Chains A and B, each alone.
Chain A
Amino acid sequence: MDWLSDEDIMLEVKQGNIDALSLLFKRHHKHLFNFFLQTGVEYHHSEDLTQQVFYRILKYKDSYREKAGFRKWMFTIARNIMRRHFETRKRHPEQELPAILLNISERQTIDSEEEERIKALYKALEKIPPQDRELISLSRFQGMKYEDIAEITGTTVGAIKVKMHRALKKLRDLYFEKADH
C-alpha cells in the first residue's frame, strides 16, 4: 500500500481498516515529533503528543473529510494538542527549546562544524516568538504549503505571506549575526 496517497490510506482507515494507520504513522511521525520539539515541547512529551495525535486521528476517523488533505488535518490536531499541552502544564512556550536540539552530536554522528551551524540555527529559533517558530517549523521544516498553513492557523493566505516573511526575517537577523563571529 506504500504507493497510496495519505488521503487514500486515511479513507481506508475511516472505512474500518485501522491497521492502515500504521503506514501514515511511519510516514509522518518524525515530522510531528520535530514539530513539537521546534515549538518548545520537551523530548519525552514530544513523543507522547505524537502518539496522542495518532490516537485522536483514530478515535475521530469518522470526522475525516474525504477531500481534506491528511497532513493539514494532522497538523491542525497537533497544533491544538500542543496548545492544550502548554495551557495545562502552565509552561510557557517562550521558554528554551528542548536540549536535544542543541546537543545533536549526542544522538547523531555529525561533524563539529556542521554541529555548530545547526546549534546556531536552533539558538536563533529559540529567541523568536512561539507563533513565529510555529510558522517556520510548518513551512520550512515540515514542508507545508502557505494555503495549508493559513487553514491550520485560522488565517488568510495573504496574511501568511507577510507573517512568514517577518518570522523568517527575525530568524535571519539573529542567525547571520551569530554566524559572522
Chain B
Amino acid sequence: MKKRIIDYQKTDTMKCNNTQINALLTAYLDNALTPEESKMVEAHLNDCSDCLDELQEIRTLHLQIEHTPLIDPPTDAERRFRQMLEKQHKPQKQSITITVDFSWKKIAAAIIIFLAGAATVLLFQSKTDSDTSSIAHLENQVSQMRQVLMTALIKNDSPSDRLKAVQYAEQISGPSPEVTNILLETLNHDPSVNVRLAAANALHQFAVHQEVRTKLAQSLQQQSDPMLQIVLIKMLVQFHERSMVPTLQDFSHDEKTHEMVKKEAEEALTVLL
C-alpha cells in the first residue's frame, strides 16, 4: 500500500533544503517576485535539480486547474438579480407619486412660491455687476453674523438654543476650522442627544476633509446612543473611512451593543477594504 503523505513539509518527495528559496517557486512562476528575488531563484535553479523538478510539477498543476471548467450558476441567477434591481427602483417611484398626491392648496402654494422665486431671480438678473458684488459682500456679512450668533448660542443652557446654534453652523458658507471644532466639541460633549445628532448632521458636509473624518471616527468610539452610532457609521462608511474599523469590531463583539448598531457595524465591516 502506498504511504500517505501526512506531514507535507517534512515527508517530501522533493529534497531541497533551501526552504526559503523553495517557498518562492510558485510566486516565481506567477511572475510575482521582485527582480532581486527572481535572480536568487534563478541562481538556485542552476544547481538544484529538485527545485527544477518541483517547478515542472507546479506548472503541470497550474495547467490542470486552468483546464478545469467553472460550475455554471443556476439558470435563474440573472433573473433573480434583475428582480432585486427593480425593487431598488420602486421606492423612488413611490416618493414621486407622494409628491404628486399633494392637496390643491399645497399645489397652489407651491406655484406661488415658484413664481415669487422666479420673480426674484429675474430681478437679480437685471442687476448690474456692482450689485452682485455687493450681494456677495452682504452674504459674507450674514455668514459672519451667523458665526458670532452661533458661538454665543452654543453656550446656552437651553437645548433648543444650542440646536439653533448648530443650524446656524450648517448655513455658514466656507466654514472656518473654528466652526468645525465647535461642532465636534458639541458632538462629543453636548448633554442632549438631539443636539449631538444635529451636530453630526451638520458635520456631514465637512466629512470630505480627512481631519474631520478622523475626528468623527474618534467620536464614534465614545458615543453611547445607538441612533448617533448608526448615523456616524453610515456617514463614515460613505467615505470609506478605515480608521473606524477597530471601533466597528468592538461594536460587533460587545454584547451590550444595540442590535441595530451591531448589524450596521457588521455590514460596514464587510465593505471596508
Chain A residues with CB under 8 Å of chain B are 18-19, 21-22, 25-26, 29-31, 33-34, 37, 46-47, 50-51, 54-60, 62-65, 68, 72-73, 76-77, 80-81, 84, 100-101, 104, 107-108, 110, 117-118, 121, 139-141, 145-146, 151, 157, 161-162, 164-166, 168-177, 180
Cβ of B182 < 8 Å from any Cβ of A?
no
CA distance A55 to B4 in the complex (A): 45
Give A55's nearest chain B residue, CB to CB.
B84
- Taking the closest CB of chain B, its distance from the CB of A17, in whole angstroms, is 11
- Taking the closest CB of chain B, its distance from the CB of A174, in whole angstroms, is 8
Tell me which of B107-115, B169-177, B233-241 binds A.
B233-241
Contact with A along B230-262 (1 / 0, CB 8 A): 000000011110000000000000000000000
Given A25-B81, A63-B271, check contact A172 B23 (CB 8 Å). no
Whether A168 contacts B58 by the Cβ 8 Å rule is yes
Chain A contacts for B62, CB-based, 8 A:
140
Whether B271 contacts A60 by the Cβ 8 Å rule is yes
Total inter-chain residue pairs, C-beta < 8 Å: 148
Cβ of B123 < 8 Å from any Cβ of A?
no
- Interface residues of chain B: helix, strand, loop or mixed (majority): helix
CA distance A39 to B33 in the complex (A): 27
Given A172-B58, A173-B8, A177-B5, check contact A29 B273 (CB 8 Å). no
Chain B contacts for A46, CB-based, 8 A:
73
Chain B residues with CB under 8 Å of chain A are 2, 4-5, 8-9, 13, 22-27, 30, 32-33, 57-58, 61-62, 64-66, 68-74, 77-78, 80-82, 84-85, 88-89, 237-240, 266-273
Chain B contacts for A141, CB-based, 8 A:
65, 68, 70
Whether A33 contacts B73 by the Cβ 8 Å rule is yes
- Taking the closest CB of chain A, its distance from the CB of B265, in whole angstroms, is 12
Chain B contacts for A51, CB-based, 8 A:
77, 80-81, 84
Give A47's nearest chain B residue, CB to CB.
B74
Chain A contacts for B72, CB-based, 8 A:
30, 107-108
- Taking the closest CB of chain A, its distance from the CB of B241, in whole angstroms, is 9
Whether B77 contacts A168 by the Cβ 8 Å rule is no
In-complex Cβ contact of B88 among A50, A58, A169 (8 A): A58
What would 12 A/B residue contacts be, using CB atoms closer than 8 Å?
Answer: A21-B85, A29-B73, A33-B70, A37-B71, A51-B81, A80-B269, A118-B68, A121-B64, A121-B65, A146-B30, A169-B8, A174-B5
CA distance A118 to B69 in the complex (A): 9
CA distance A26 to B77 in the complex (A): 10
Give B238's nearest chain A residue, CB to CB.
A62
